[in-house]
Amino acid sequence: MTYADRIAGLKSSAIREILKVTSNPEIISFAGGLPAPELFPLNELADVAQKVFSKFESAVLQYSVTEGIGPLREKIARSLDPDGDALGVDNILITQGSQQGLDLVSKLFIDKGTVVLTENPSYLGALQSFLLFQAEIRPVASDEDGIVLEKLAEVCGRGPAALLYAMPNFQNPTGISIARERRPGLLQIVRQHDVMVVEDDPYGELIFEGERPPSLLALGGTRNVIRLGSFSKTIAPGLRIAYVAADEEIIHKLAVIKQGTDLQTNTFGQYLVNEYLENGRHEEHLRLLRKTYGFRRDCMIEAMQRHFPSSVWRNRPSGGMFLWVRLPEGRDARDLLARCLERKVAFVPGQEFFPDGSGSNTIRLNYSNASPGNIEVGIRRMGEAMKEMGM
Ligand SMILES: Cc1ncc(COP(=O)(O)O)c(C=O)c1O
């Protein structure tokens, strides 16, 4: 076979391999990044589906415009910019999940060797998308308050970069957010160096405590920021409904690229989400998600306090779906995984998420998809394996 050159660097992710093991129902898995299925608004969506069919009839099954249906785009624009000063429908493109937003943005901005700056660690799906288009990834050091601004300025100073990919809230894999105080400085640096920010924010609504800081788009405007949002974590990922919010010219170009990819996002899903948002119960649903996931995070932290050795560090994100763990220096999380799999517990070793290959002693744990009972048992077994390894 003669494949395209860009395929040469393509690797299957180790996470996919771990997730194969976790399809065994006996395994307690903190490995995936799945929302809790028992919280999907099934009955509401069934009612809304009926309503949508009787109200719009065959239109919900017909081809539709590439940019997405007007009422949904309008709602998203208003949710991002209530006064309507900065964003209108022409600033919104509906996509098949945010993952498609990442693919379209990659197609628009990345040539072979184009420099893309990322957090370190970063979201694997984004890295895969950038690498498929042969980007050169330059990771920027991050701490508990997100990207370190001095490091960002230093990396920007090394030469031109097209994009900075950043997750502002409860990022995947660490659960860390970019601190409110850092956001204006971050935008100032990218402005100076002519770098476009891709703000990917699927977890921002899942906030358990405190106040959500303004988005990078709200602070920087469409000249500096392309924002990706998704209903995957707040309604259901199987619907595949998400959006890009950006400058009109960028939206137009992304829409032309999308035509060549899939013509449009599925019409029925868009009508369904639009009508669901209109029925006014979304806020109530978000409150339920925040309460349940916040409780599961607390269960996981309390179990760690009881079962993990004191040499193991963990953080306490104030939202999202993930917790981050650091084993003592020199330990390899993959060795721990092997012992944990014997005990029927799975997690993702963090190294996968580091573009610079560091982080071998780190671990990503998902708490949204595990019951409090399984969290207790799984964390206890992990703690036993850690102690067995002499941590
Ligand atoms: C940071 C981030 N971006 C994007 C996605 C893709 O989400 P979707 O395509 O379902 O909107 C995910 C999924 O886990 C994610 O964690």
Q: What is the CATH number of the domain that holds 101?
A: 3.40.640.10
Check pocket membership of 95 for ligand 1, CB cut-off 6 A: no
Nearest-atom number in ligand 1 for the CA of 237 is 10
The 10s digit of each residue's pLDDT in 92-123 is 999 999 999 999 999 999 999 999 999 999 99
Q: Are residues 104 and 134 in the same domain?
A: yes
Residue 71 and residue 205 share a domain: yes
Is 301 within the bounds of a domain?
A: yes
Domain-terminating residue out of 278, 298, 324:
278
Total domains in the fold of the chain: 2
Q: Are residues 306 and 356 in the same domain?
A: yes
Is residue 265 in contact with ligand 1, taking CB distance under 6 Å?
Answer: no
> 356 and 289 in one domain?
yes
pTM, full prediction: 0.97
Specify the residue for token string 């995984």: 337
Which DSSP letter does residue 142 get?
E
Confidence of residue 8 (pLDDT cuts 50, 70, 90): confident
pLDDT at 237 over 90: yes
| Residue 47 domain-assigned (yes or no) | no
Say if residue 320 is in the same domain as residue 244.
no
Ligand 1 nearest atom to the CA of residue 171, by list position: 1
Contacts of 342 (CB under 8 A, 6+ apart): none
Percent of the chain that is helix, strand, coil (3-state, to 5): 45, 15, 40
Domain closes at, from 278, 313, 331: 278
For residue 240, the CA-to-ligand 1 centroid distance in Å is 10
Residues 322 and 345 in one domain: yes
How far does the centroid of ligand 1 lie from the alpha carbon of residue 98, in Å?
Answer: 6
Does 194 reside within a domain? yes
Q: What is the pLDDT of residue 248?
A: 98
From 278, 294, 324, the end of a domain falls on: 278
Do residue 173 and residue 213 come from a single domain?
yes
Whether ligand 1 lies within 6 angstroms of the CB of 200 is answered as yes
Residue 385, pLDDT above cutoff 80 = yes
Query: What does the mean pLDDT of the chain come to?
Result: 96
Contact between 339 and 385 under an 8 Å Cβ cutoff? The reply is: yes
Distance CA 163, CA 310 (A): 39
**Which pLDDT belongs to residue 375?**
98
CA 102 to ligand 1: nearest atom: 4
Structural domain contains residue 50: no
- Using the mean position of ligand 1's atoms as its centre, give its distance from the Cα of residue 237 in Å: 9
What 3-state DSSP class applies to 326?
strand
Q: Which of 124, 206, 232, 352 best tests ligand 1's pocket when mutated (most atoms within 8 Å of CB)? A: 232
Together in a domain, 247 and 312:
no
At 13 the pLDDT is 75
* 242 Cα nearest atom in ligand 1: 11
Mutate to test the pocket of ligand 1, among 230, 243, 321, 366 (most ligand atoms within 8 A of CB): 230
Same domain, 198 and 338: no
325 domain residue, yes or no: yes
For residue 54, being part of any structural domain is answered with: no
Q: What's the CATH code of the domain at 364?
A: 3.90.1150.10
Q: 80 near 201, Cβ under 8 Å?
A: no
Between CA 48 and CA 84 the distance in angstroms is 27
Query: Which two tokens mark 5?
Result: 């050159």
| Distance of alpha carbon 123 from alpha carbon 364, whole angstroms | 12
Distance from C-alpha of 230 to C-alpha of 206, rounded to nearest angstrom = 12
Both 80 and 220 in a single domain?
Answer: yes
Specify the pLDDT at position 281: 85
Cβ of 202 less than 6 Å from ligand 1: yes
159 half-sphere exposure, CB direction, 13 A CA radius? 7
Domain of residue 376: give its range: 5-41+283-388
> Which of 252, 225, 270 has its CA nearest to residue 75?
270
Does residue 57 fall inside a structural domain?
Answer: no
| pLDDT tens track for 295-308 | 999 999 999 999 99
Beta bridge partners of 198: 165, 226
Same structural domain, 109 and 257: yes
Asked if 240 and 102 sit in the same domain, the reply is yes
Closest to 32 (Cα-Cα) out of 18, 46, 42:
18
- What pLDDT does residue 7 have? 87
- Which amino acid does the sequence have at 148? V
- For 226, the enclosing helix (H) or strand (E) is strand 225-230
The stretch 231-256 carries a mean pLDDT of 98
Atom of ligand 1 nearest to the CA of 231: 11
pLDDT digits (tens, 9 = 90+) for 53-91: 999 999 999 999 999 999 999 999 999 999 999 999 999
pLDDT for 132 beyond 90: yes
- Res 24 pLDDT > 90: no
257 domain residue, yes or no: yes
Residue 325 bridge partners (DSSP): 314, 363
